Chain A
């Protein structure tokens, strides 16, 4: 007798038409987009032709997708992964979409990957474009989340951390660091992404409550930096604790080894009489 609300959110929650949502800024952005389309009609088709010739690098692929070149070579655009996905996460790219025509991709702000433990999309793939060697869905690397700290509520001091709360790999893919705010007696709880654990499922991007998501997922190569191989972070190496040595111990090791120093490069040059 007491039937519940329809589970479809659109049946009872607001659409984006409340007065707060339509800001002048988004209005302006829309006008610009409109203007761009209107004035660049001539260029549009050539742009699309180029876009479809190579993989659009911002497209997120299903779990287990091979690197782009291999994926594009193997994917026969059959759509079986799309059908297999129980959450309707995947779409086959249409002409103007992010990904090459006919290949599967997903947009996490619409529907993220919910990381089914049996990975039905991969199981449905007839060619191995979605790698049959992916056993654990949590090992998949569809992309990498990153936080726009200027627009993240938590980074402004508010208590949100929704990305962290909804993350299926909390503390492995996203952790929260606490810091004093200094402006008041309230600490900040700051979410941070850990690339080692992030699958790129996009559940965080989907859940982010800001108007435009302040956490987004993109292919890792688009956003991830790299520290030069010539440098190692001492405190992350085995045995390389950062705790201060006892007084007197500080440079002992170095001094001892200095005694054993033999012939040093450059000495010949320095000691040579010519100048």
Chain B
């Protein structure tokens, strides 16, 4: 802030006086500061970063953020923040903030090979529309795509979903959340029939045990970790367990550290299930009343392409495993097969990996029977320097904790489970353990999937910005869900496309094979965060396509784009986020966006003005579409029925989808604003409250359907710090599925009322044996899932594991946190953490610069042997925030075949000195 001349003189006098009489300068300064702060406006907000969802307070003056603080009234964080959160106020003010649209130009015209030059918004949208229409006319709805975000505001994600699905009739919209918690979602849907956790953060204060599975909470969920540690300090029986593939900061707050080999978590969970059964600790009454048992196919591949046409030469051996694989000895044992025989398996269920059927408890018992202590300890022990006996003792200790009927258990997990070629399975298995014990849906007993991003739940999942989803847990390939959505959105029947679209990795593959040629990226940096980046960078720059990136800073994605749209950041717009415990939090615009920067929502709405109904609601080719009531490979022309509903062919999508009479009824200005501005509305030149209208339109999907949000204005009340949905009769729901806390439970004390996939055929571990379907409403599923080896493991050539992840200091790809000088100074570059002995063996020392090479590329980095992460022999770790150490050029783009989430944790590499 600028000091006024008068204040300057005053403070100068005060300082001189202070010098003379010996008053500490700090006291004078604090008096002066208090005077300045009188004019600050404080308002509540939410931290921009992780899924914990800390509340913050923001002070503004003259259109700038002058300070922030942790919100003392926020139940999540009670005034605290982590060091990223401490810098919320600074992320808006990086030196190279983008403030005008930039397009690749030669001689005043767009040229894919040209250099970026400033253009007007009109020029930008004109070219964007020309390129859109070119791709759309040529390839149809499947030829265009949107890569969105778990950092999208609720309204942004909703508007883009509506534009894509209702307007462009394309399901090729997918958020970066795909690579964050899609495996968690798939498991929630398969196990409970409804997304998101039964419990909440308060479980920490009620429990006796926290087990972190593949979750470095100390760094990735910093403020939540303080609650775990506080419980440990204050509750004598509290035990904390860290199950991990390397020693990390979370180990330091743990009573028990279990270092396992990659992917063996699936075996470890089966050992626990087997122990629970053998110790006779199954909560039989709970299981009988509330659970069924299930199994699914195991020949499901690894989510890679079925062809090696685009693979680098070095990738082809791994690529071939997508077609056929020979089981390892351990896999054979884990499937109950003879390990002395060779078992070669065709990946017959790669496209139907999510199939599952009912089995009996005896089948489940048979399934987990091979997972003895001896087998699992031998398979899973991750630290070569630990004795087998010591490791076994740890596994027994873990089983003791889980199986103790008196002990309350919270299991936390995040990317170690989710970014996993069997991510959905391992998520399901942890539920199996909790369900067998009945330790779920009550205070202190909680299997809890931590999310990475601030609105992975609130936007990506609840709004349904995935390629297969619709709002409120609905999906595009169920006719009833499409009907409900079409009615809510006032669309002609059969406007919506029943064929799921391309998930994020597939959007990249589509760009590479040319089947997609127009992509819009918002609120994320996919060309840095998607694995196997060399392919996608080349596809973006060298193929005939048009890539639009909306971003606040020049990211790698912006760099390979054709058009860059400058965005308003978090507190420069009205918005909302939903955190991991179902807490929805909304905030007001605090400061105006700089220069020509505009909100993502404004960009979506403005672009929708350039497309008419006639261009999109005609008949459309959708290759591969097969669905009841649809001609094969086609979406029908719905213009005629649209006209009956009052739509005209020349109407724009903006008019049809957004500026509806219902939405226009929400007037701007609105008293809830309390004097705060709205630049989305201002730049649109309208008099309706866009963010409120879209929030209420979206909320209608969930109200009365297990996903109730409170009215928009309620979230802005001074006494509200976010509310955990479902919010029914003005009350939030802390624990779901439990009649004591959840008004949706209608039958008995516990009811898993989620409705998806609650009718199945019956069979045994190898497949269905009947065609007759059984319904089991209100029940959760206990899955048997076997151990599966990683798709790629170290060998004689690529001889080290590489795992990627986050650090406390930086957010994701660093586009924001690397603009904060203090954070950049604290952690300027990513390093490769490795074991000192592995380094020595290769003639390397700490601080040496090395080449790191995988089948997909090579990068240079400095090695660190004494860092915060201490990998066991054979293992290494590197964070992904640093674009100059571009770790995703190395990583394999294999995914969980069910969730389509990439496995960033298991790439084989070799390293050698530069």
Residue of A nearest to B97 (CB): A14
Which of A20, A117, A158, A178 touches B81 (beta carbons < 8 Å)?
Answer: A158
* Nearest-Cβ distance from residue B52 to partner chain A, whole angstroms: 10
Which residues 157-204 of A sit at the B interface, judged by CB distance below 8 A? Answer: 157-162, 165-166, 168-170, 176, 178-181, 183-189
**Bound-complex Cα distance A161 to B847 (A):** 22
Q: B808 at the A/B interface (Cβ < 8 Å)?
A: yes
Which residues 727-771 of B sit at the A interface, judged by CB distance below 8 A? Answer: none
Residues of chain B lying within 8 A (CB to CB) of residue A128: none
Say yes or no: A209-B845 contact (C-beta < 8 A), given A22-B1, A31-B15, A184-B79: no
Q: Is A159 a contact of B883 with CB atoms below 8 Å?
A: no
* Nearest-Cβ distance from residue A249 to partner chain B, whole angstroms: 25
Binds A, one of B85-93, B409-417, B712-720: B85-93
Which of B33, B78, B233, B822 touches A178 (beta carbons < 8 Å)?
Answer: B233
Q: A27 at the A/B interface (Cβ < 8 Å)?
A: yes
Q: Interface readout for A1-13 with B: 1 if CB under 8 Å, 0 if not?
A: 1101101010011
**Bound-complex Cα distance A18 to B93 (A):** 6
Q: Is B233 a contact of A185 with CB atoms below 8 Å?
A: no
Q: Is A153 a contact of B83 with CB atoms below 8 Å?
A: yes
Q: Is B15 a contact of A28 with CB atoms below 8 Å?
A: yes
Q: Is B93 a contact of A159 with CB atoms below 8 Å?
A: no
Q: A32 at the A/B interface (Cβ < 8 Å)?
A: yes
Q: Is A187 a contact of B230 with CB atoms below 8 Å?
A: yes
Q: Is B829 a contact of A7 with CB atoms below 8 Å?
A: yes
Which residues 24-48 of A sit at the B interface, judged by CB distance below 8 A? Answer: 24-25, 27-29, 31-32, 35
Q: Is B86 a contact of A32 with CB atoms below 8 Å?
A: no
Which of B93, B826, B886 touches A209 (beta carbons < 8 Å)?
Answer: B826
Name 6 A/B residue pairs within 8 A (Cβ), A-sorted: A9-B821, A20-B65, A116-B847, A186-B80, A189-B229, A209-B87
Q: A207 at the A/B interface (Cβ < 8 Å)?
A: yes
Q: Is A28 a contact of B866 with CB atoms below 8 Å?
A: no
Residues of chain A lying within 8 A (CB to CB) of residue B81: 158-159
* Nearest-Cβ distance from residue B202 to partner chain A, whole angstroms: 9
**Bound-complex Cα distance A209 to B810 (A):** 13
* Nearest-Cβ distance from residue A77 to partner chain B, whole angstroms: 28
Binds A, one of B21-29, B131-139, B393-401, B789-797: B21-29
Which of A13, A157, A180 touches B234 (beta carbons < 8 Å)?
Answer: A180
Q: Interface readout for B179-215 with A: 1 if CB under 8 Å, 0 if not?
A: 0000000000000000000000000110000000000
Residues of chain B lying within 8 A (CB to CB) of residue A176: 252
Q: Is B229 a contact of A32 with CB atoms below 8 Å?
A: no
Given contact pairs A13-B824, A160-B82, A178-B232, a sample of 4 additional A-B residue pairs in the complex whose CB atoms are under 8 Å apart:
A159-B80, A162-B809, A186-B227, A209-B822
* Nearest-Cβ distance from residue B508 to partner chain A, whole angstroms: 14
Residues of chain B lying within 8 A (CB to CB) of residue A15: 95, 821
Q: B16 at the A/B interface (Cβ < 8 Å)?
A: yes
Q: Is B205 a contact of A24 with CB atoms below 8 Å?
A: no
List the 7 shortest-distance A-B pairs measured between CB atoms, nearest first: A184-B78, A159-B222, A186-B226, A187-B229, A159-B82, A25-B29, A187-B230
* Nearest-Cβ distance from residue B380 to partner chain A, whole angstroms: 27
Q: B674 at the A/B interface (Cβ < 8 Å)?
A: no
Q: Is A9 a contact of B824 with CB atoms below 8 Å?
A: yes
* Nearest-Cβ distance from residue B659 to partner chain A, whole angstroms: 37
Q: Is A20 a contact of B227 with CB atoms below 8 Å?
A: no
Decide if the interface of chain A is mainly helix, strand, loop or mixed. Answer: loop
Q: B144 at the A/B interface (Cβ < 8 Å)?
A: no
Q: Is B827 a contact of A166 with CB atoms below 8 Å?
A: yes
**Bound-complex Cα distance A13 to B232 (A):** 40
Q: Is B11 a contact of A170 with CB atoms below 8 Å?
A: no
Residue of B nearest to A4 (CB): B884
Which of B8, B14, B559, B819 touches A14 (beta carbons < 8 Å)?
Answer: B819
Q: Is B825 a contact of A158 with CB atoms below 8 Å?
A: no
Q: A206 at the A/B interface (Cβ < 8 Å)?
A: yes
| B interface list, Cβ under 8 A from A | 1, 3, 7-8, 11-12, 14-16, 19, 25-26, 28-29, 32-33, 36, 64-67, 70, 77-83, 85-87, 89-90, 93-96, 204-205, 222-223, 225-227, 229-234, 249, 252-253, 537-538, 541, 554, 556, 559-560, 807-809, 818-829, 845-847, 866, 868, 883-884, 886
Q: Is B225 a contact of A159 with CB atoms below 8 Å?
A: yes
Q: Is A209 a contact of B90 with CB atoms below 8 Å?
A: no
**Bound-complex Cα distance A18 to B826 (A):** 18
Decide if the interface of chain B is mainly helix, strand, loop or mixed. Answer: helix
**Bound-complex Cα distance A22 to B1 (A):** 7
Residues of chain A lying within 8 A (CB to CB) of residue B65: 19-20
* Nearest-Cβ distance from residue B829 to partner chain A, whole angstroms: 7
Q: A16 at the A/B interface (Cβ < 8 Å)?
A: yes
Q: Is B25 a contact of A29 with CB atoms below 8 Å?
A: yes
Residue of B nearest to A118 (CB): B845
* Nearest-Cβ distance from residue B840 to partner chain A, whole angstroms: 12
**Bound-complex Cα distance A36 to B86 (A):** 34
Say yes or no: A18-B90 contact (C-beta < 8 A), given A13-B824, A179-B233: yes
Residues of chain B lying within 8 A (CB to CB) of residue A211: 822
Residues of chain B lying within 8 A (CB to CB) of residue A13: 94-95, 818-821, 824
Q: Is A12 a contact of B819 with CB atoms below 8 Å?
A: yes
How many A-B Cβ pairs are below 8 Å?
188
| A interface list, Cβ under 8 A from B | 1-2, 4-5, 7, 9, 12-16, 18-20, 22-25, 27-29, 31-32, 35, 114, 116-117, 153, 157-162, 165-166, 168-170, 176, 178-181, 183-189, 206-211
Residue of A nearest to B36 (CB): A24
Residues of chain B lying within 8 A (CB to CB) of residue A162: 83, 808-809, 826-827
Residues of chain B lying within 8 A (CB to CB) of residue A207: 825-827
Q: Is B828 a contact of A12 with CB atoms below 8 Å?
A: no
Say yes or no: A28-B28 contact (C-beta < 8 A), given A153-B83, A159-B83: yes
Residues of chain B lying within 8 A (CB to CB) of residue A186: 77-78, 80, 223, 226-227, 230
**Bound-complex Cα distance A180 to B231 (A):** 9
Residues of chain A lying within 8 A (CB to CB) of residue B249: 165
Say yes or no: A28-B32 contact (C-beta < 8 A), given A19-B1, A19-B64, A186-B80: yes
* Nearest-Cβ distance from residue B306 to partner chain A, whole angstroms: 28
Residues of chain B lying within 8 A (CB to CB) of residue A158: 70, 80-83, 85-86
Q: Is A9 a contact of B825 with CB atoms below 8 Å?
A: yes
Residues of chain B lying within 8 A (CB to CB) of residue A187: 226-227, 229-230, 232-233
Residues of chain B lying within 8 A (CB to CB) of residue A28: 11-12, 14-15, 25, 28-29, 32
Q: Is B95 a contact of A14 with CB atoms below 8 Å?
A: yes
Residues of chain A lying within 8 A (CB to CB) of residue B16: 35
Q: Is A153 a contact of B86 with CB atoms below 8 Å?
A: yes
Residue of B nearest to A19 (CB): B64
**Bound-complex Cα distance A157 to B79 (A):** 9
Residue of B nearest to A186 (CB): B226
* Nearest-Cβ distance from residue A173 to partner chain B, whole angstroms: 11
Q: Is A180 a contact of B230 with CB atoms below 8 Å?
A: yes
* Nearest-Cβ distance from residue A22 to partner chain B, whole angstroms: 7
Q: Is B868 a contact of A170 with CB atoms below 8 Å?
A: yes
**Bound-complex Cα distance A231 to B175 (A):** 64
Residues of chain A lying within 8 A (CB to CB) of residue B89: 20
**Bound-complex Cα distance A149 to B222 (A):** 20
Residue of A nearest to B848 (CB): A117
Say yes or no: A24-B227 contact (C-beta < 8 A), given A5-B884, A14-B819: no
Q: Is B223 a contact of A208 with CB atoms below 8 Å?
A: no
Residues of chain B lying within 8 A (CB to CB) of residue A181: 226, 230
Say yes or no: A20-B821 contact (C-beta < 8 A), given A117-B845, A162-B826, A186-B230: no
**Bound-complex Cα distance A189 to B819 (A):** 26
**Bound-complex Cα distance A187 to B847 (A):** 34
Q: Is B79 a contact of A32 with CB atoms below 8 Å?
A: no
Residues of chain A lying within 8 A (CB to CB) of residue B3: 24, 27
* Nearest-Cβ distance from residue B116 to partner chain A, whole angstroms: 14
Residue among A116, A117, A189 with the highest chain B CB neighbour number at 10 A = A189
Which of B28, B94, B827, B847 touches A117 (beta carbons < 8 Å)?
Answer: B847
* Nearest-Cβ distance from residue A17 to partner chain B, whole angstroms: 9
* Nearest-Cβ distance from residue A116 to partner chain B, whole angstroms: 7
Residues of chain B lying within 8 A (CB to CB) of residue A179: 233
**Bound-complex Cα distance A23 to B820 (A):** 17
